[in-house]
Amino acid sequence: MLYLPRVSRQELRAAGDCPPKLQPLVELQYRGRVWHQSNGSDWTVRAFLIAEAGLGLDVVGDRRTEEAFLRVLPWLAESDLQALKGRRLDADDFDKLSVEDPVRDMLRWLDNPQGFETAAKGSRWESFRALSKSEFGIYPDQTSPGEIAALLLRSDPKLDRIWSRFSEAPQLYLGVAKQLRDPMSVGQGMLALDPSRDPRINEAEEGDLRRELEKAASVPHLDACRRVLELETRHGARRDWLWARTGQSPWAMALRPLARLANSAQKPIGGATLVMAAATYAENGWPTDAAAMEALACFSHSGDAVVMSKVVRALYEPWLDASARHFQILVAADPDKARMAVGVCKSEKDTCLLFVDGLRMDIAGQLAARLESHAFRVTLAHRLAPLPTVTATAKPAASPIAYDIKGDSGEDFTPLIKVKSQWKPLIAPLFRDRLEKEGVEILDASELLIPAGTNAGGWTECGAIDSMGHSLQGDLVHQIETELKRIEDRVSSLLNSGWRRVHIVTDHGWLLLPGGLPRIDLPGYLVETKWARCAVVKGQPDLPVPVSIWYWNPAVRIASPPGIGSFRANETYAHGGISPQECVVPDLLVERGTTTISAKITSIEWRRMRCRIRVETNNPSVRVDLRKNWKEQATSIVAARKALDANGEASLVLDDTHEGAAASVVVVDVDGNVIAHQTTCVGEKA
């Protein structure tokens, strides 16, 4: 088969009239067969498109359409021709073969004009020019990107589709955001019909919000709470602006936890009895702590972090101190009753006790929510920790060996345990040895062993919240997410390996206040030993601070700073004293649920660089991602995971740098765990 473009049969009819270079082919028209139209004429592109013996398409007969189908012949050859039949085809229909998504290409041009023009040179650039005129009324070579940015800011109706697509994934088009921030002079002085479109308005609002919050940090407590809530009313809506998704609204995002803190910090923890106060904190007090920690985690090591610390302190400190003072009054009213109210933990068959040092109620609340998302059954209860709230005293009470233990002088708050006929300090080796003698299986950090036969369950430890708090002080807030994930993974591993239940216990909570806990002076001659939040009293002097008794030896008196004070200076993180945060500790029971999250990818359809995915699942909270390696979240090639719509579908948009690459569609739960995955090729046709 020979294809001779631009060579007519007439040229081959007689060797004498035929150009010399074609003469060797003359005889082939007699020994072979020439394909021509039924009327004997040579084929043209138009004739082939419209003839029944050709494609049989209905094509408009104007010059613009002819120019369009000639420049898109390579794409026409690869197209699904059935999709073109049954309708009248004009220039735009053919140009869309090479510019399948004019909205996306317009955004790509606005994002990087020079790069786009270089990549789309030739016929594809001409198709883009033609479609830009017909679709948006714009000639790219006559209208600058800055002028188009000005039209977007002014909500020009012709460009609504461009703005809508940009709003879906602004992270993909940072160059467009730059154009909107600094448009050409044609847009200067023109007011945007929709202020949310203008990044300069958002930037100005961010600066104003920061200044107003800084002012709120210097007014009385209730006034500060009121001002923050007023700012939330004014600025909260900006979290829905697209600039929040590009990281340009950090203060609007940080205002969310600040508003929760301002709302709940207006009334300290109350309760007529110690038990009632503990229950009040466990039910609705710890979210205040959670809001404060979340707000502090919004900024790190910057001027913004300093401002945030001042605002949080202004909102949080009065509530924290008043709650602690009320709790101390209740403990002082009946120290023996407070000691007897301490909860103890027991071991059970098929249950693994998981000890987490310093697991405060607010972190436990977040952990419970994350575990429930795995379809585990979670029961979040609470108990009172022994005094003083330090690990040496409180950890044994959180274990199954809280007997045959007594206290001595209490110098370092380590109790004694009876070994044969002797009393020895309960250090780590003796603690493990006694657990094993009780039939408790000790699991190292990564072990998943299930004891066989009759047993008293297991014991394992996880997390480093308390040690990080002492070393990092206020920077602990930036590590909470990491520790939560570590504990969550450990619980999931234990349950998935066969344990029926995981019982999460802890020793104590803690206080964390940006700027440091107030310093309380306590003369050294009055105490035997002194820590930040507790001290062993020497003799029986009257002290100007709250005094309680040691849990393991009621004869030993323990001094605590009033409120949230510290016997040491410059302590941002501390524990050992009497406050709801230190004394009311979580007790979580986690069990395997009756149902698990399931998902099945039923279809993957590509429209150029837009991927449409359909998923069947029993949990509508799942998200869809696209990754180079389905196991690794860091290999994601989309701006963000997408939720499923009401029809179980999600749409992901990519830039064409990934076109043709192998990838995996991944379905994950709310915590990022992979539930289903399927390979695909980026941009492939069905």
Confidence (pLDDT) at 78: 62
Report the percentage of the chain scoring pLDDT > 90.
Answer: 48
Of 174-188, 375-389, 617-631, the least confident: 174-188
- Mean pLDDT over 107-121 rounds to 82
Task: For 365-374, write each residue's pLDDT tens digit.
Answer: 999 999 998 8
Pairing assessment for the beta strands 351-355 and 377-384 based on DSSP bridges: unpaired
Assess contact for 651 and 644: CB atoms under 8 A: no
Of 642 and 510, more confident:
510
CATH fold for the domain made of 599-681: Immunoglobulin-like (2.60.40)
pLDDT band at 433 (very low <50, low <70, confident <90, very high): very high
**Structure tokens given for 44:** 């043209």
Confidence (pLDDT) at 313: 98
Task: For 312-351, write each residue's pLDDT tens digit.
Answer: 999 999 999 999 999 999 999 998 888 888 877 888 888 9
Assess contact for 90 and 65: CB atoms under 8 A: yes
pLDDT band at 421 (very low <50, low <70, confident <90, very high): confident
Report the percentage of the chain scoring pLDDT > 70.
Answer: 92
- What residue has token string 């220039």? 91
Of 647 and 453, more confident:
647
Q: Whole-angstrom Cα distance, residue 99 to residue 51?
A: 26
Three-state secondary structure of 417-466: EEECCEEEECCHHHHHHHHHHCCCEECCCCCCCCCCCCCCCEEEECCCHH
Cα dihedral sign for 89, 92, 95, 98? negative
Rounded to 5°, angle at Cα 633 from 460 and 628: 140
Confidence (pLDDT) at 155: 86
Confidence (pLDDT) at 63: 80
Of the candidates 205, 218, 210, the one whose C-alpha atom is nearest the C-alpha of residue 310 is 218
pLDDT band at 497 (very low <50, low <70, confident <90, very high): confident
Which of 8-12, 26-30, 400-404: highest mean pLDDT?
Answer: 400-404
Cβ-count burial of 25 within 10 angstroms (0-12 exposed, 13-18 middle, 19+ buried)? middle
Confidence (pLDDT) at 631: 81
Of 27-41, 52-66, 176-190, 470-484, the least confident: 176-190
pLDDT at 521 over 80: yes
Confidence (pLDDT) at 192: 55
Q: Which whole-number Å values give the CA distances from 166 to 152, 236, 636, in the listed order?
A: 10, 22, 20
**Helix axes 303-333 and 199-216, enclosed angle (nearest 10):** 40
Give domain limits for the chain: 99-197, 199-333, 342-516+576-591, 599-681
Q: Which whole-number Å values give the CA distances from 679 to 156, 225, 632, 661, 682, in the listed order?
A: 40, 51, 14, 11, 10
Task: For 38-58, write each residue's pLDDT tens digit.
Answer: 777 777 877 777 787 777 778
Prior bond of 425 cis (ω within 30°): no
Average pLDDT, the chain: 87
Which of 35-44, 116-125, 357-366, 436-445: highest mean pLDDT?
Answer: 357-366
**Helix axes 221-235 and 303-333, enclosed angle (nearest 10):** 130
pLDDT at 491 over 60: yes
Of the candidates 293, 309, 333, 270, the one whose C-alpha atom is nearest the C-alpha of residue 509 is 293
Of 59 and 584, more confident:
584
Of 81 and 171, more confident:
171
Task: For 542-580, write each residue's pLDDT tens digit.
Answer: 888 999 999 999 999 999 999 999 999 999 999 999 999
Task: For 201-223, write each residue's pLDDT tens digit.
Answer: 999 999 999 999 999 999 999 99
242: which residues sit within 8 A by CB, 6+ positions away? 166, 167, 170, 196
Q: Which whole-number Å values give the CA distances from 253 to 81, 246, 269, 468, 547, in the listed order?
A: 50, 12, 27, 26, 43
- Mean pLDDT over 218-232 rounds to 97
Confidence (pLDDT) at 185: 38
pLDDT band at 391 (very low <50, low <70, confident <90, very high): very high
Confidence (pLDDT) at 186: 43
Which of 147-156, 285-294, 298-307: highest mean pLDDT?
Answer: 285-294
Task: For 652-685, write each residue's pLDDT tens digit.
Answer: 988 777 887 888 999 998 878 888 899 888 887 6
pLDDT band at 277 (very low <50, low <70, confident <90, very high): very high
Assess contact for 491 and 502: CB atoms under 8 A: yes
User: C-alpha 415: how far from its chain's center?
Assistant: 43
Confidence (pLDDT) at 419: 87
pLDDT band at 98 (very low <50, low <70, confident <90, very high): low
Task: For 566-621, write each residue's pLDDT tens digit.
Answer: 999 999 999 999 999 999 999 999 998 755 677 889 999 988 788 999 999 888 88
Phi, psi at 57, each rounded to 5°: -95, 155
Partner residues linked to 607 by β-bridges: 610
Complete DSSP assignment for 204-225: HHHHHHHHHHHHHTTS-HHHHH
Partner residues linked to 61 by β-bridges: none
Of 453 and 636, more confident:
636
Of the candidates 362, 353, 641, the one whose C-alpha atom is nearest the C-alpha of residue 503 is 353
